[in-house]
Chain A
Amino acid sequence: MSEVSQLIEALSVEEVDAIEAEITHLPNRESAAIEAMRIVQEKRGWISDESLRAIARLLGMSTEALDSIATFYNLIFRKPVGRHVLMLCDSVSCYVMGCDKVRTAVCDQLGVEMGETTPDGRFTLLPIVCLGACDRAPVMTIDEELITHLSADSIPDILSGFD
């Protein structure tokens, strides 16, 4: 009983429900590991040790086993991120179209390097592999929004739209 309440403390009812719904599509609970972490991350931005433990317990696996999965994937964050996650494509088409200059512009504008979070917690900058919009390169996503045809000049305007 206390276990359930502990769980609820670490995960919201909606999260638990969403994870349980995912499990219904799968032959066993552990198979929902990645989806479960995505669900929690969508709500909280990242997977804390506490979330990790709670999800592991919900899925009936060890925390270590879940962490092993979490740390394999690029899109599962085991460290806190900023309010907005900016993912800048650095793959070959964007490279040909000058993503290096865009990166410099973003870093200069925000005053942090790739992989870092701005001190005010507004942005986390991450490199991302090809976003599948090569015909509109260079591109990036901020949160779920795809932003195309980037240039160093357009960066300040774009960033000002996210607070």
Chain B
Amino acid sequence: MATIVVDGVEFEVDEGQNLLHACLSQGLELPYFCWHPSLGSVGACRQCAVIQYADADDTRGRLTMACMTPAKDGTRISIQTETAKQFRASVIEWLMENHPHDCPVCEEGGECHLQDMTVMTGHTQRRYRGRKRTFENQYLGPFLNHEMNRCITCYRCVRFYNDYAGGTDLQVFGSRDRMYFGRTTDGVLENEFSGNLIEVCPTGVFTDKPFSESYTRKWDLSSAPSICAGCAVGCNTFVSERYGRLKRVHNRYHGELNGYFLCDRGRFGAGFVNSTDRIEHVGERVEDDFFDVLDVEVGIAKLAEMIRQGDVVGIGSPRASLETNVALKTLVGEAQFCTGMSSAEESLVDLIIQTQRATSADIPSLSDVESADAVLILGEDVLNTAPRVALALRQTVRNRALNLAGEAGIPQWQDAGVSSHAQGRLNPLFIASVLPSGIDDIAADLLHDVPLNLADCGFAIAACIGEATGSEPDFVRKAAAALRSAQNPLIVSGTSTRTRAIVEAAGAVVAALESAGKVPRLLLVAPEANSFGSGLIGGGLDMNTALQRVASGSTKTLIVAENDIFRRAERERVEQALCTVENLVVLDSLDTPTASLAGLVFPAATFAESTGTFVNYETRAQRFYCVFEPRHEIAPSWRWLAQAATDAGRDDLGWTHVDDVLEAVAASPNMAGVRAVAPDAGYLGSSLCKTPRETPRFSGRTAMNANVNIHEPKTSVDEETPLSFSMEGLNRDQPSALLPFVWAPGWNSNQSVFKFQQEVGGAAAGGDPGVRLLASGSIGTMPARSASVRSDRGGVDTGFRLIPVQAIFGSDELSSRSPPVVERSSAAFMIFSPMDAERLGATQGMGVSCSVLGATFAVTVDAAMKSGYVGVSVGFTGAEGELPDGLIGLAVDPNYRPTPNPHDRVIARG
């Protein structure tokens, strides 16, 4: 700690931290642009100028950039001195020379950091008389608008995009006062984290394209804290709405998890909430694909009758909340309940939980991931299955630069100095994967092979950590040596290749490191937002058994909650079951192949219209809150189930509030912590109000429905949650789990987030939200290698073995029904080795048809693919479910026309 004096007042701050960071952490107001807590300082904008005094006798001092100056014991500065204020106003004046005065039509208006800083510095009078420079804008793809005239050259975009996120196609061009931030030519920004530019850019250069298509000012958005439904990382988000439509998703800072950044699947994948495919009414099927709307009471009565008749099997879902899953499980009973994961996936998730229990270390949070100093990725393509993990791994390897800088006496926040000194030296990351991945550029070494061989490689590394024989392959030896000599080794793996042995191998590496006296971390991912919640709840039936049971005719009623079973098992199995069962009841938000076979459908609320809990890969239970009240008859699935059960005379589902369900959830094994995730509905903040979803400047509440009814409706009272559908109350001083949006006086942009942190970049005020359900410490034993059947590889004549390949845009069910994600994703594809492609007579871009999957796939050729195997885009048309085992015949489809690639669209510049 160091004591610094700011305008005569003493503050205790972190020694060596830069003064801007230190001042903001103390709640002092000091404008800035180019500095970012995650990106460090570069001293480009000169906005954070303060006067620094040599000592107590120095009365003149000299101007210095706070972000570039370390806090030392006795440092004396002034923010308020006239010269400093004038200089900061001058910086704004310089920036404003060319900045367009288009705030009224700018999507950033009202949450613009430049607006805030302009007001803060007090620059009001324009003295520049020249013309403004203008630029042409570029088409950057479906996610982002580009309006270069608004640029203030703070460099944050390229520093985030290139240095932080590893992108290469967004750059700075030109020099002097003609700096251009964009691409060489129009085109889709490739990086998977491009959406963060919206929040990183302090003005309106990069704005949210889907949002601007039906735009609302920030102050007119109602928002609630939420959890991303895109994958098992569980990034914290702010979800915002207006007029009952989801408008946008922003990052909600979480110190241990997502920090300041989301991936593009998460940010742009929520559009399915507004889909025209939404199920909005209770319906009864009268003939194929044709449903009659039922009165709610009638629908519930019908379901109640089925429940009364008994013989009900329930299939839950890893994409549904804990609440819904527990409700269904309670309704049908453990023995009749299936988690809704595929059998293969469920056994893998069980294996992961068993493995995690057996390790001595906690499951790493993403900030733990970033502090690792050697990493092995075994068989998991995290960039496509848990994208935010990949972004964290980029920081893990970059930590080498921070260490080198530390040794050279360069402050860690001195971003440019750190990288010019490090010259690209990275912490070691080893990737053993089926195919090249988007983070290969940061890998120390790569190995590409089929899943079982990757598992072998993992076991070999484990053995080599114990004792090297000297005859190991290079990759194995190097990886083992790096992990062994690391302080904080990390192993990353997961379920996506559906290979038990890979997870077992990851466990073996961890066990070997533990035997070698290390405290290794193990990060294992599963695909969905609540995969781990489902795993912890468990069920008496696995998917294949459940389907078999149903298909055998012994089940009268099958209730499926928020699940498309066709994605969970092979088509035939599913069809057999769903067509056999007498009553198929589906609760879901979107029309799916499963829903279309149902006799009775209930409209389920999405994460945006309901309140519930997801459990992420860390087994962190996190609450998402209803952002807006669902339209029509849409309601949370658990409520439909509870009502019908109560109607049927059951007394154990008499729940009216989420809190009631949560009490039931908390009673289940492993779930004790869920009540503590967030306050109960009755919680009132320090203002003795509920936490408002609307901003203090929310406007037009009385007018927004005037086209329908000129009477001002009473705002509905939210009895479910500690949040209100109104503007009264404070967004500040709330438990972090309740934070509905960031805003603080003078700070209308998302930069106000520092007002909601314990210190800049530290834990959220009041602690980072969420409760880990699995206690740390080694419980049970590390699963040993199970016997796996080694099957022969395939070939053109015999048929191929299929290996699942994941895609960030397209493999996930819900996000791939969001329009911008659809536009960004490719057609279903298969990846061949060059030799197989040649033998098959297929070249890049041609189509191959597969009769087993009943679909055609675009051909991709990759030299890393092993002959006899074919990578298949899972989750895409034709490959939605589990891929079939065995050798699968493929043939070139002469009629295949690749769907026109939306990326190639020529869009007028403007």
Which A residues fall within an 8 A CB radius of B? 49, 52, 61-65, 67-68, 71-72
Can you list 10 contacts pairing A with B, beta carbon distance less than 8 Å?
A: A61-B168, A63-B184, A64-B169, A64-B183, A65-B171, A67-B171, A67-B184, A71-B175, A72-B173, A72-B175
Are B174 and A64 within 8 A (Cβ)?
Answer: no
Are B175 and A64 within 8 A (Cβ)?
Answer: no
B172 at the interface (CB under 8 A from A): yes
Are A67 and B173 within 8 A (Cβ)?
Answer: yes
Are B175 and A49 within 8 A (Cβ)?
Answer: no
Q: Would you give the 0/1 interface string for B177-197, flagging 1 where the beta carbon is closer than 8 Å to chain A?
A: 000100111000000000000
Looking at the complex, which one of A49, A52, A62, A72 makes contact with B168 (CB distance below 8 Å)? A62
Docked pose: A114 CA to B754 CA in angstroms: 50
Looking at the complex, which one of A63, A64, A72 makes contact with B170 (CB distance below 8 Å)? A64
Give chain B residues whose Cβ lies under 8 Å from the Cβ of A68.
171-173
Are B183 and A71 within 8 A (Cβ)?
Answer: no
Looking at the complex, which one of B169, B171, B174, B184 makes contact with A52 (CB distance below 8 Å)? B184
Are B169 and A71 within 8 A (Cβ)?
Answer: no
Number of A-B contacts (CB under 8 A): 29
Docked pose: A64 CA to B180 CA in angstroms: 12
| Nearest neighbor of A70 in chain B, beta-carbon distance | B173
Docked pose: A52 CA to B173 CA in angstroms: 14
Give chain B residues whose Cβ lies under 8 Å from the Cβ of A52.
184
Give chain B residues whose Cβ lies under 8 Å from the Cβ of A61.
168
Are B174 and A49 within 8 A (Cβ)?
Answer: no
Are A71 and B173 within 8 A (Cβ)?
Answer: yes
Are B174 and A62 within 8 A (Cβ)?
Answer: no
Docked pose: A62 CA to B162 CA in angstroms: 11
Could you tell me the dominant secondary structure of chain A's interface residues? helix
- Least CB distance, A128 to chain B, in whole angstroms: 15
Docked pose: A72 CA to B172 CA in angstroms: 9
| Nearest neighbor of B185 in chain A, beta-carbon distance | A49
Give chain A residues whose Cβ lies under 8 Å from the Cβ of B174.
71-72
- Least CB distance, A77 to chain B, in whole angstroms: 14
- Least CB distance, B177 to chain A, in whole angstroms: 14
- Least CB distance, B162 to chain A, in whole angstroms: 8
Are B173 and A62 within 8 A (Cβ)?
Answer: no
Docked pose: A137 CA to B423 CA in angstroms: 43
Docked pose: A108 CA to B172 CA in angstroms: 36
- Least CB distance, A39 to chain B, in whole angstroms: 20
Docked pose: A68 CA to B175 CA in angstroms: 9
Give chain B residues whose Cβ lies under 8 Å from the Cβ of A49.
184-185
- Least CB distance, B423 to chain A, in whole angstroms: 8
Docked pose: A158 CA to B484 CA in angstroms: 72
Give chain A residues whose Cβ lies under 8 Å from the Cβ of B180.
71
Give chain B residues whose Cβ lies under 8 Å from the Cβ of A65.
168, 171
Q: Which 3 A-B pairs have the closest CB atoms?
A: A62-B168, A68-B171, A71-B173
- Least CB distance, B161 to chain A, in whole angstroms: 10
Give chain A residues whose Cβ lies under 8 Å from the Cβ of B171.
62, 64-65, 67-68
Docked pose: A120 CA to B824 CA in angstroms: 46
- Least CB distance, B876 to chain A, in whole angstroms: 28
Docked pose: A64 CA to B183 CA in angstroms: 6
- Least CB distance, B156 to chain A, in whole angstroms: 16
Give chain B residues whose Cβ lies under 8 Å from the Cβ of A71.
173-175, 180
Give chain B residues whose Cβ lies under 8 Å from the Cβ of A62.
168-169, 171
Give chain A residues whose Cβ lies under 8 Å from the Cβ of B184.
49, 52, 63-64, 67
Give the interface centre of A63, A64, A71 by most chain B CB atoms within 10 Å: A64
| Nearest neighbor of B172 in chain A, beta-carbon distance | A68
- Least CB distance, A55 to chain B, in whole angstroms: 13
Q: A65-B168, A67-B171 are in contact. List 4 more A-B contacts (CB 8 A).
A: A49-B184, A62-B171, A64-B184, A65-B171
Give chain A residues whose Cβ lies under 8 Å from the Cβ of B175.
71-72
- Least CB distance, A157 to chain B, in whole angstroms: 35
For chain B, residues 801 to 845, give those with C-beta under 8 angstroms from any C-beta of chain A. none
Give chain A residues whose Cβ lies under 8 Å from the Cβ of B185.
49
Give chain A residues whose Cβ lies under 8 Å from the Cβ of B183.
64
Docked pose: A139 CA to B638 CA in angstroms: 84
Docked pose: A68 CA to B170 CA in angstroms: 9
- Least CB distance, A85 to chain B, in whole angstroms: 20
Give the interface centre of A49, A65, A68, A72 by most chain B CB atoms within 10 Å: A68
- Least CB distance, A6 to chain B, in whole angstroms: 15
Give the interface centre of B168, B172, B184 by most chain A CB atoms within 10 Å: B184
- Least CB distance, A68 to chain B, in whole angstroms: 4
Docked pose: A68 CA to B171 CA in angstroms: 6
Docked pose: A120 CA to B172 CA in angstroms: 34
- Least CB distance, B861 to chain A, in whole angstroms: 12
Give chain B residues whose Cβ lies under 8 Å from the Cβ of A67.
171, 173, 184
| Nearest neighbor of B180 in chain A, beta-carbon distance | A71
Docked pose: A34 CA to B294 CA in angstroms: 71
Docked pose: A72 CA to B176 CA in angstroms: 9
Docked pose: A71 CA to B178 CA in angstroms: 10
| Nearest neighbor of A53 in chain B, beta-carbon distance | B184
For chain B, residues 324 to 376, give those with C-beta under 8 angstroms from any C-beta of chain A. none
- Least CB distance, B149 to chain A, in whole angstroms: 18
Docked pose: A71 CA to B168 CA in angstroms: 16
| Nearest neighbor of A72 in chain B, beta-carbon distance | B175
Give chain B residues whose Cβ lies under 8 Å from the Cβ of A64.
168-171, 183-184
- Least CB distance, B145 to chain A, in whole angstroms: 19
- Least CB distance, B135 to chain A, in whole angstroms: 13
| Nearest neighbor of B176 in chain A, beta-carbon distance | A72
| Nearest neighbor of A63 in chain B, beta-carbon distance | B184
Give chain B residues whose Cβ lies under 8 Å from the Cβ of A72.
173-175
| Nearest neighbor of A62 in chain B, beta-carbon distance | B168
| Nearest neighbor of A61 in chain B, beta-carbon distance | B168
Docked pose: A65 CA to B169 CA in angstroms: 7
Docked pose: A67 CA to B184 CA in angstroms: 7
| Nearest neighbor of B162 in chain A, beta-carbon distance | A65
- Least CB distance, B610 to chain A, in whole angstroms: 43
Docked pose: A65 CA to B175 CA in angstroms: 14
Docked pose: A28 CA to B172 CA in angstroms: 22
Docked pose: A19 CA to B817 CA in angstroms: 48
- Least CB distance, A74 to chain B, in whole angstroms: 9
Docked pose: A65 CA to B170 CA in angstroms: 8
Docked pose: A52 CA to B170 CA in angstroms: 16
- Least CB distance, A88 to chain B, in whole angstroms: 19
- Least CB distance, B544 to chain A, in whole angstroms: 46
- Least CB distance, B592 to chain A, in whole angstroms: 40
Docked pose: A68 CA to B184 CA in angstroms: 8
| Nearest neighbor of A52 in chain B, beta-carbon distance | B184
Q: Would you give the 0/1 interface string for B139-173, flagging 1 where the beta carbon is closer than 8 Å to chain A?
A: 00000000000000000000000000000111111
Q: Would you give the 0/1 interface string for B408-452, flagging 1 where the beta carbon is closer than 8 Å to chain A?
A: 000000000000000000000000000000000000000000000
Docked pose: A99 CA to B169 CA in angstroms: 42
- Least CB distance, B144 to chain A, in whole angstroms: 16
- Least CB distance, A61 to chain B, in whole angstroms: 7
- Least CB distance, A59 to chain B, in whole angstroms: 12
Docked pose: A162 CA to B606 CA in angstroms: 74
For chain B, residues 170 to 226, give those with C-beta under 8 angstroms from any C-beta of chain A. 170-175, 180, 183-185
Docked pose: A24 CA to B297 CA in angstroms: 80
Docked pose: A64 CA to B175 CA in angstroms: 15
Docked pose: A64 CA to B161 CA in angstroms: 13
| Nearest neighbor of B183 in chain A, beta-carbon distance | A64
Docked pose: A44 CA to B173 CA in angstroms: 22
- Least CB distance, A1 to chain B, in whole angstroms: 11
| Nearest neighbor of A73 in chain B, beta-carbon distance | B175
Docked pose: A62 CA to B185 CA in angstroms: 13
Docked pose: A52 CA to B169 CA in angstroms: 14
| Nearest neighbor of A27 in chain B, beta-carbon distance | B423
Docked pose: A73 CA to B685 CA in angstroms: 58
Give chain A residues whose Cβ lies under 8 Å from the Cβ of B173.
67-68, 71-72
| Nearest neighbor of B190 in chain A, beta-carbon distance | A62
Give the interface centre of B171, B172, B185 by most chain A CB atoms within 10 Å: B171
Give chain B residues whose Cβ lies under 8 Å from the Cβ of A63.
184
